[in-house]
Amino acid sequence: MNFILHNPTRIVFGVGSLSKLPKESQSIGINKPLIVIGQGSVKKNGILDRVLELLKDFKYAICENIKPNPTVDDVIRGKNIFLENGCDSVIALGGGSVMDAAKVISLVAKEGFDPWEYTANKKPKDAYPIITIPTLSATGSEADPIAVINNLNTGEKKSVSGMCLYPKFSIIDPELTITTPLNATVDGFIDIIVHASETFLSTKDRNVFCDGVTETIVKMVIENGPKIIANTTDIKARTEIALASTMAMYGILYPRSGGWPMHAIEHAISGLYPDISHGSGLAAIFPAIVEWDGERNIERVKQYIKIFGYEVNTAKEASEVIKNFIVSIKAFKGLKDLGVKKEDLNVIAEKTLILKGNKENKLLNIEPMGFNDILNVLERSY
C-alpha cells in the first residue's frame, strides 16, 4: 500500500453553514470574487440572492450560464469576465459543472493559457483562490483537485487536475440541495456510488480500510436516496448524502489502488453526446461493468454485491442486482434509449482508450480492458 493524501481544502459542513461565507472569505483575504453559476436555478430559488446578501461587504462579478458538461468556451467566457472585472478569486455556486468550470476559470485567469492545453501535457501550477458551494451532492468536486471540461470541436471530455485546483474552502450546506430537481439529485446518487466503487471493483487487492469506506458510502446512498425520493425536503437524508458525496472524493480511498473504468468510458460517451448527463451515462454502463468484472473475479463482485444486501453466485446475477437498484431509484436507460447510435460504440471504445488508455493501450480494471472488452461492455449496455 503506497499513497499520498494531502487534501488542503477546508470543509465547512452542515445545515446553515452558508452563513459562514463572509467570515471564511475574509479569512483567506479575498476582496472581489467572480461568482460562477449555472443556467439560472440559483437565481430562481433565491440561493444567489442569499449569497449576494452575505457578500454585501465585498465587491463581486457574476458569470452566468455555465452549461451541464461545461465547455472550453464557457471557461474562456468566464476568464474574460474575471479579468475585465479585476476579480481575485472564484466562488462556484452550483453543481459539478459549475464547480469544474470555476476551477479552470481561476486557473486560466491566473496563467493565461488555453484551457484545453491542461487536458494534455500542461500541468496546472497556479490558480486564484477557489471557493465552492455545491447545490447538488454528486461529483465531490468540492473536495478534489479535478475539473472535467468538454471540447465541442473534438467531441471530447477530459480532465484537468493539479494541487492548485483544490478549493481553499468549500461550504457544504445540505439545505442548499433541497431545491435541486429530482432527476439531477438521483443522477448524483449514481455518481456518488460509482466514485466509491470504482477502485473496489477494479482491484484484486483487498484493502480493509478502503473496502469499509466503500461499504459505508454506498450504504449511505442506498439508505438515504429513497428517503429523498419520497420526501425531497428530508434534511437528515440530504445531510447524509452530502457527506457521502464529499467523502467519496476527499482522498480517503487513495490507499486502494485501481482504475476508474466506468468514468473513463462515461467521459467518452458524454464527450461525444454532451446532452447525456454524467449520472445517466454511468447508470447505463454500471451493470455491464459489474458483470464483466464478475466474470473475471466473482469473489470480489460477490463481496461488493453484499453491500446491496444480496448474496449472488454469478456475474449475471450481480449485474441484475445493480440494474434493479438503478431501476428502483431512476428510470434505467440503456445507451440506445439515451440516444447513442449503435455505429458510435466503436468510436466510444476508441476514444476511451485514447483518453484513458495506458502505454499498452489498455484501460485499467480488474483485468486490463482492450478495445474489444470496452466494446463488449458498451454492447451489453445498449
Q: Least distance (Å) from Fe ion to the CB of residue 194?
A: 6
Q: What is the dihedral of CA 357, 358, 364, 370, to 10 degrees?
A: 60
Closer Cβ to Fe ion, 191 or 240, answer by number: 191
**Integer angstrom CA distances of residue 111 from 118, 127, 360:** 11, 7, 33
Stretch that binds Fe ion, among 8-16, 164-172, 186-194, 267-275 (CB under 5 A): 186-194
**Which residue has the closest beta carbon to Fe ion?**
191
| Residues whose CB falls within 8 Å of the CB of residue 48, separated by 6 or more in sequence, listed in order | 35, 37, 42, 93
Closer Cβ to Fe ion, 263 or 362, answer by number: 263
10 Å Cβ neighbour count for 321? 21
Q: Least distance (Å) from Fe ion to the CB of residue 351?
A: 17
Q: Least distance (Å) from Fe ion to the CB of residue 264?
A: 11
**Integer angstrom CA distances of residue 206 from 121, 216, 217, 381:** 33, 16, 17, 28
Closer Cβ to Fe ion, 142 or 191, answer by number: 191
10 Å Cβ neighbour count for 55? 18
Closer Cβ to Fe ion, 173 or 191, answer by number: 191
Closer Cβ to Fe ion, 144 or 191, answer by number: 191
How far, in Å, CA of 254 to CA of 251, rounded?
5
Closer Cβ to Fe ion, 275 or 299, answer by number: 275
Stretch that binds Fe ion, among 188-196, 247-255, 336-344, 370-378 (CB under 5 A): 188-196
Angle (CA) 129-135-138 rounded to 5° is 95
Distance of CA 193 to the CA centre of its chain: 11
How far, in Å, CA of 312 to CA of 319, rounded?
10
357 within 8 A of 253, measured Cβ to Cβ: no
How far, in Å, CA of 47 to CA of 50, rounded?
5
| 191 touches Fe ion (CB under 5 A) | yes
Stretch that binds Fe ion, among 161-169, 191-199, 225-233, 336-344 (CB under 5 A): 191-199
Closer Cβ to Fe ion, 191 or 291, answer by number: 191
Stretch that binds Fe ion, among 146-154, 160-168, 183-191, 202-210 (CB under 5 A): 183-191
Q: Least distance (Å) from Fe ion to the CB of residue 19?
A: 29
Closer Cβ to Fe ion, 17 or 277, answer by number: 277
Q: Least distance (Å) from Fe ion to the CB of residue 92?
A: 16
| 142 touches Fe ion (CB under 5 A) | no
10 Å Cβ neighbour count for 2? 6
Q: What is the dihedral of CA 266, 269, 272, 278, to 10 degrees?
A: -50
Q: Least distance (Å) from Fe ion to the CB of residue 195?
A: 6
Q: Least distance (Å) from Fe ion to the CB of residue 96?
A: 7
Characterise 216 by phi-psi region: left (phi > 0), alpha (psi -120 to 50), beta (else): alpha
| 373 touches Fe ion (CB under 5 A) | no
Closer Cβ to Fe ion, 191 or 293, answer by number: 191
Q: Least distance (Å) from Fe ion to the CB of residue 68?
A: 13
Nearest 5°: phi and psi at 232?
-65, -15
Stretch that binds Fe ion, among 42-50, 147-155, 190-198, 234-242 (CB under 5 A): 190-198
Contact track, Fe ion, 225-264, x by CB under 5 A = ----------------------------------------
Q: Least distance (Å) from Fe ion to the CB of residue 380?
A: 21
Number of residues in contact with Fe ion under rule CB under 5 A = 1
Q: Least distance (Å) from Fe ion to the CB of residue 32?
A: 31
Closer Cβ to Fe ion, 214 or 297, answer by number: 214
In terms of Cβ atoms closer than 10 Å to its own Cβ (0-12, 13-18, 19+), residue 360 is: exposed
188 within 8 A of 225, measured Cβ to Cβ: no
Interface with Fe ion by CB under 5 A: which residues?
A: 191
